[in-house]
Chains A and B, each alone.
Chain A
Amino acid sequence: MPSIIDARAVVKYYKGKEEPALDRFDLSVEEGKIFTLLGRNGAGKTTFLRIASTQLAPTSGSVSVFGLDAMSDARKIRRRVAITPQEAKPLWTLNPYDHVVLSLMMRGQTHSRASTKARQVLKTIELDEVAGVHSEELSGGLRQRILIAMTIACDVDLMFLDEPTIGLDPVGRRKVWNELIRLKQEEKKTIVLTTHYMDEAEALSDELAIVNRGRVLERGSPLEVRAKHSGSKIRVDVVSGFAAEELASYGKVTRAGNVARVFTDEASGQELSAEALRRHATISLAPVTLDDVFVELVGSEPEDEDGREETSESEERATR
């Protein structure tokens, strides 16, 4: 599959910041895939999405989209992309139907085509029953779905979705997932999304990249990434019955809320289980998850409190 996005050594500094938001960032995204960027707040995910969607200029490096340069050929790229920005809000006084029609008509579609498409998309993501309700009267999750509807209705080759399912309930999230998978499978769309939800990344992604401090730490399919970092390890969650020092003799121990999480091999896991049974302690065994891999890869890094990317509005500089 050819690459639809190709980023080479992209560096992005925001004004007044000493640390780069992107630091020699390399990434390629294959056509017709769902690609997910995972990372902590300030890791560089949104910055990359904004550069690739021609909203933001990189400090150095190159990004091509559809083989076109994101800086010099932005106009051609913009005809074929659409974005759901992070933490966006619908426009007040407009209802979901208005939003989708506006999204299509501002791209030049006729009202009749826009109207037909809007009704179809609103039905798909179950907004049809509130199609005529003012957006300010809707719940946060329904408002978020309006923004997703505006993007997926556009029928573009490449969609950028920045934390699209934030605020959605589990049922709503799955509706969106199903639609994104349908768009990929039936309409051969390419979707690049960011998320903090590991289950979402596992459920949707053909490929994902774990990003930290402006660099790609790991990439591959969810299965590949998990296998690479967990090997034959298993995870034992210990609720009670063991002292921390004891657990350390079985493997690497981390805390996850009230649970002590032991990463170990199968033999040690069985040994620990037998001991837990003998002591009537509460434990559970499970394969290592993407969540565990993510925490292992980036968990030791302090979270970037100064907000190197999402606060970019305050650090704009002029270019066209």
Chain B
Amino acid sequence: MSEEIPSKVWRNLRTVGSLAYYIGIVPMIRIPTLLPFVFATPFTILFILFVSGQPTLFAYGLAGAITMTAAQQGLFLGADLTNFKIEHKFQSVVVASPVSAFTYMFSVALSELAFAAPPLAILTAIIAYHTSGAGLPTVAGILVVAVFMWMTTSSIGFFLSTYVLNTRTAFLTITFISILISVLPPVFYPMSVLPADVRWLSELVPTTHASILIQGLSGLPVTPEQTVLSWIALPAFTAAFLALALLKARWREG
């Protein structure tokens, strides 16, 4: 038994590693022109904020761009999984194998993260350069927030992919959700610009909390109460959506 556990762990690691490598890293290496698609939307918004000539808005934009990149890549998991399921029938191959739903979701989500890694690295480097006194804790904090964001939206993406019935609907739905949660709430701008009576609404969106935390880590003004709330809310959203994905997503069809 004691020998079986490490062997099982190694097997699972090979499963995760191979799926993430062949679905994420290999396409990125063989077709690097895919990368601009990941950069496009967040960097376009950031560019607009940059040319506006207001350094504070640009600083908020950096927090927003990191949040959007992580969120968007998580959601793209849903579009890719739908494509693998409907067009390639790859999910059929996976279901009829020892690979579990969670392992599959996690592996493909990791492959999406591989695509998000270059823009996240660039954005984090810009924040570190712009923020006086930013060191390893700041960078680590930003990456932790990005990972929470990616896990949350990956769960949403996986959940949606098991219900969406065609690839076109999947891409449209996911693009819509991405914009809905990354552009409308205070992700690229401070919460303080929202009227007081609608702020509670933005607290219901995980991207708000991710952006607030990155804003705080970047040296932008965030109250300690809000920081604490967001550090509680973001992992809570992650746990809730992960549970939803694993308990309610359809692996074997009924």
Show the binding face of A for B, using Cβ within 8 Å: 50, 53-57, 74-75, 78-79, 81-94, 98, 101-103, 105-111, 134, 150-151, 154, 160, 312-314, 316-320
Contact = CB atoms under 8 A, between A and B. Distances in A.
Contacts of B250: 316-320
B98 A110 contact: no
A319 B96 contact: no
A160 B254 contact: no
A93 B254 contact: no
Interface in B162-180: 163, 165
B23 interface: yes
B14 A94 contact: no
A297 B17 CA distance: 50
A75 B102 CA distance: 13
Contact of B252 (A56, A106, A107): A56
B105 to A, nearest CB: 13
Interface string B78-113: 000000111111101111111101000001000000
A85 B248 contact: no
B254 A105 contact: no
A93 B94 contact: no
Nearest to B104: A106
13 contacts: A55-B95, A81-B96, A85-B89, A87-B89, A88-B93, A89-B87, A94-B22, A109-B14, A316-B163, A317-B250, A319-B253, A320-B101, A320-B251
Nearest to A134: B30
Nearest to B165: A314
Contacts, number: 121
B232 interface: no
B11 interface: yes
B15 interface: yes
Contact residues of B: prevailing secondary structure: helix
B12 interface: yes
Given A108-B12, A108-B98, A316-B253, A91 B92 contact: no
B245 to A, nearest CB: 12
Interface of B: 10-12, 14-15, 17-19, 22-23, 26-27, 30-31, 84-90, 92-99, 101, 107, 163, 165, 248, 250-254
A108 B252 contact: no
Most buried by B among A83, A84, A151, A160: A83
Contact of B93 (A54, A83, A98, A110): A83
Contacts of B15: 105-108
A81 B86 CA distance: 21
Contact residues of A: prevailing secondary structure: loop
Contacts of A92: 27
Given A81-B96, A105-B15, A314-B165, A88 B89 contact: yes
Most buried by A among B14, B23, B86: B14
Nearest to B29: A93
A54 B96 contact: yes
Contact of B97 (A89, A106, A314, A319): A106
Nearest to A88: B89
A74 to B, nearest CB: 7
Nearest to B34: A93
Contacts of A79: 98
A55 B96 contact: yes
Given A93-B26, A93-B27, A93-B30, A108 B253 contact: no
Given A98-B26, A313-B165, 14 more contacts: A55-B252, A74-B252, A79-B98, A81-B97, A88-B88, A93-B26, A94-B22, A103-B93, A106-B14, A106-B19, A107-B98, A154-B97, A317-B253, A320-B251
B20 to A, nearest CB: 10
Contact of B23 (A75, A85, A91): A91
A108 B252 CA distance: 21
A102 B19 contact: yes
A15 to B, nearest CB: 9
Contacts of A56: 252-254
Nearest to A81: B96
Contacts of A101: 18, 22
A87 B86 CA distance: 10
Given A91-B90, A102-B18, A78 B253 contact: no
Given A87-B89, A88-B92, A94-B22, A108 B11 contact: yes
Contacts of A150: 93
A101 to B, nearest CB: 7
B165 A91 contact: no
Given A89-B87, A107-B97, A319 B92 contact: no
A50 B27 CA distance: 30
B18 A106 contact: yes
Contacts of A82: 93, 96-97
B27 A317 contact: no
Contacts of B88: 88-91
Nearest to A110: B14
A317 B252 CA distance: 9
Most buried by A among B89, B97, B163: B97
